[in-house]
């Protein structure tokens, strides 16, 4: 409940920033024009972002024949979370990672890299898939679309002011207008990233509740964090705007949690999951069962098997 309240507060702050900035620079008319243009762009992205993102990362859909164990696992977790069965994708990528996409639970998809499937054991993969289903259940895609719309509108207002100038009777004056043009988009980006970090914490908690094993998810996060640091994800580097979707940051050069990070500090995420286990929720996981070959007979790259 607190995470939803914080998200709502951050979204209200971003909306207030947009209204104030828009009125100062463009008046009511300029503010409405920018909002409509940004809204139209993000509406298109909302309906097509899942296809676009899956295509960017060269994901292939799998089913009961091509990846029976993975699909069966996701189906079981979705039923446990009271969600429709999402589409399941596998990405041929050595970096261990995963993400969820889709505009609503009825049109959702979860994707895991082959690196993840080879690195984690079954319990850890369940924890990761439960985390991604939590994003679907919490409607995080919708939340981030709304914030992206407002952030986009603020950037458009800044561009409008840069090329056409703001209101002549702007109470901020010339210097104040220039500062607003620079600082307002940065502030919007910071709020947007803060919302993204908040949603990651919420998905960790809900994912642990769905899987029933918070320590398995904590173990998975630690392995994914180390694996992502060692392995370059070229598709993510080419499309950094999709970084916030992944369960761990797929980009290099961001090893610390800064104002510009889309993910919380890994140490804090793991500590919160361990605290859940200490309170008696699924604390029996010990991490046993990991084999050198990965999770339950992961096939070599290029060969299909139970995990795709």
Task: In whole angstroms, give the CA distance from residue 212 to residue 127.
Answer: 8
| Residue pLDDT, tens place only, 154-213 | 777 777 666 655 555 555 556 666 766 777 777 777 776 777 778 899 999 999 999 999
- Phi, psi for 65 (deg, rounded to 5): -90, -40
- In terms of Cβ atoms closer than 10 Å to its own Cβ (0-12, 13-18, 19+), residue 1 is exposed
**Separation CA 128–CA 218 (nearest Å):** 9
Alpha helix (H) ranges present in the chain? 2-56, 68-80, 114-119, 122-137, 140-164, 173-211, 214-230, 234-238, 266-278
Q: What is the DSSP letter of 84?
A: P
Predicted confidence at residue 15, as pLDDT, reads 72
240-298 pLDDT, tens digit each: 777 888 999 998 854 444 445 678 899 999 999 999 999 877 544 545 433 333 443 33
Non-local CB neighbours of 183 within 8 Å, separated by 6+ positions: none
Rounded (10°) angle between helices 173-211 and 2-56: 90
Report the chain's terminal Cα–Cα distance, integer Å: 36
* Structural domain spans, the chain: 2-278
Q: Decide if 187 contacts 17 (C-beta within 8 A).
A: yes
Q: Using CA atoms, how far apart are residues 12 and 16, in angstroms rounded to an integer?
A: 6
User: Which residues are part of the catalytic machinery?
Assistant: 132
> What integer pLDDT is reported at residue 293 of this predicted model?
34
- pTM here is 0.76
Please report where in the chains the tokens 């979860």 appear, as a residue: 110
Point out which residues pair with 88 in neighbouring strands. Answer: 62, 110
Pseudo-torsion of CA 244, 240, 100, 295, nearest 10°? -100
C-alpha torsion angle, residues 92, 262, 138, 120 (rounded to 10): 40
Give the closest residue to 129 by CA, choosing from 206, 229, 222: 206
In the predicted structure, residue 118 carries a pLDDT above the cut 80: yes
pLDDT digits (tens, 9 = 90+) for 52-85: 889 989 999 999 999 999 999 999 999 999 999 9
Q: Would you say how long the chain is, in residues?
A: 308
């Amino acid at each position: 409940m607190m995470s939803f309240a914080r998200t709502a507060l951050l979204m209200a702050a971003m909306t207030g920033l947009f209204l104030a900035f828009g009125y100062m620079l463009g008046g009511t008319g300029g503010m409405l024009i920018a909002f409509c243009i940004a809204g139209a762009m993000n509406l298109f992205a909302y309906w097509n972002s899942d296809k676009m993102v899956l295509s960017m990362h060269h994901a292939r859909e799998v089913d009961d024949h091509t990846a029976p164990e993975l699909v069966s696992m996701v189906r079981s977790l979705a039923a446990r979370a009271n969600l429709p069965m999402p589409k399941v994708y596998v990405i041929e990528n050595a970096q261990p990672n995963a993400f969820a996409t889709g505009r609503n639970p009825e049109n959702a998809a979860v994707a895991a890299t082959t690196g993840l499937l080879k690195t984690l054991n079954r319990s850890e993969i369940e924890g990761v898939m439960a985390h991604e289903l939590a994003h679907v259940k919490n409607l995080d895609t919708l939340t981030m679309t709304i914030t992206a719309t407002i952030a986009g509108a603020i950037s458009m207002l800044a561009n409008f002011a840069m090329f056409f100038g703001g209101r002549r009777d702007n109470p901020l004056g010339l210097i104040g207008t220039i500062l607003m043009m620079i600082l307002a988009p940065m502030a919007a980006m910071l709020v947007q990233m803060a919302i993204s970090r908040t949603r990651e914490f919420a998905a960790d908690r809900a994912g642990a509740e769905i899987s029933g094993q918070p320590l398995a998810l904590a173990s998975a996060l630690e392995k994914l964090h180390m694996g992502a640091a060692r392995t370059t994800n070229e598709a993510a580097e080419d499309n950094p705007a999709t970084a916030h979707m992944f369960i761990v940051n797929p980009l290099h050069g961001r090893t610390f949690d800064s104002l510009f990070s889309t993910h919380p500090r890994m140490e804090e995420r793991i500590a919160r999951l361990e605290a859940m286990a200490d309170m008696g929720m699924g604390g029996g996981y010990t991490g046993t069962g990991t084999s050198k070959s990965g999770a339950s007979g992961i096939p070599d790259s290029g060969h299909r098997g139970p995990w795709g």
